[in-house]
Structure 1
Amino acid sequence: MDAEAEFGLNVPEYFFYLLFQAVRRRDAAFERALAPLELNLGQWRAISTVRRCGTCSMSDLAAFTAVDRTTLTRSVDQLVRRGLMVRETPATDRRQVHLTLTDRGRAMYDKAVDQLLEFNRTALEGVDETRRREISRGLATVIGNLAPDPKVAEALIRFEPDLMRAARG
């Protein structure tokens, strides 16, 4: 129980309970919003991450989306079949896979991101900028505490593909 009796659970447990509830409810609602574009949440995460990275390895995609590689491979396969993404294997290292968006993929991103921005505005209604920044700093600290390596944590927190590549050496 919360020592101050503000919450029904102790504060750390309540924090993660609310975080889980927020993420799950946001994901479910946003997936419904993506349905008219014939995208699911996993596909959107792949598209948006590759868009941010420019060219993205499967390892970076897995790290930035926090989705396992098997699920990502399925999503990427579907996006490649739809002509939204291309998968390339460099001649210098056949083990690597690089992903980039096609023109159609960038157009799909543009359509979906407009929905995302509107969706986020609605979800964050009543949470002022100061509080959003405070919560974001707190979550960044939690990620830093949980990531396996401080350099990986920094790359995740800053969403910087170059830092992730450097962290992996």
Structure 2
Amino acid sequence: MALSRVQTLLTRVANVSLSLRSIVVDEVSVQAQHEGQYEIEGPDIDISPKAAEVMTPALHELSTNALKYGALSVPDGKVTVRWQIVDRRETPWLSLDWTECGQPTAEPEKPRRQGFGSELIEGRIPYELKGRGRLVIEPDGARCHFEFPLKGAPSILETSAPQRATVFGGTLDMTGEFDQPPNTCRRG
């Protein structure tokens, strides 16, 4: 559903950046039991369509896991998401921290393999956004940090196809130019 939401946003208006705050609020608030379970803090910034494609499922996984096993699974638990823009070699980078506290006191079962959320954060962010990501699950809560350069990158939804297709004379014209009607009359 998270991927569907971001793709819907990206396909409505192609090649338009999305609000990071909106993405974070959408993913965290839908899993929280009440508004007091989360704190979101950071500057209003827009991220590229490519960054939104990677960030949305990663934040969705963090939120879903917090609901199943972590801070959002209990009424007194809390998720804090903070981000800032930092300079790395004269390039602005997004630096984001996810912190959970107040999760159930039961010792979480150790995963036997790397989970999907870890792969999104530790695999896709470096590969697709040229950044870094780290997710750590500790007895007192999950902690995640990732950062990547704030530069545009091509979205998988970007194409060079014209926005509209028009039908003239029964054929599909993808160039936007008028078809020349065929000469059906033959003169002797």
Could you say which structure has the higher helix fraction?
1
Tell whether the structures are fold-level matches, with TM greater than 0.5: no
TM-score after normalising by structure 1: 0.27
Name which one, 1 or 2, has greater alpha-carbon Rg.
2
Could you say which structure has the higher strand fraction?
2
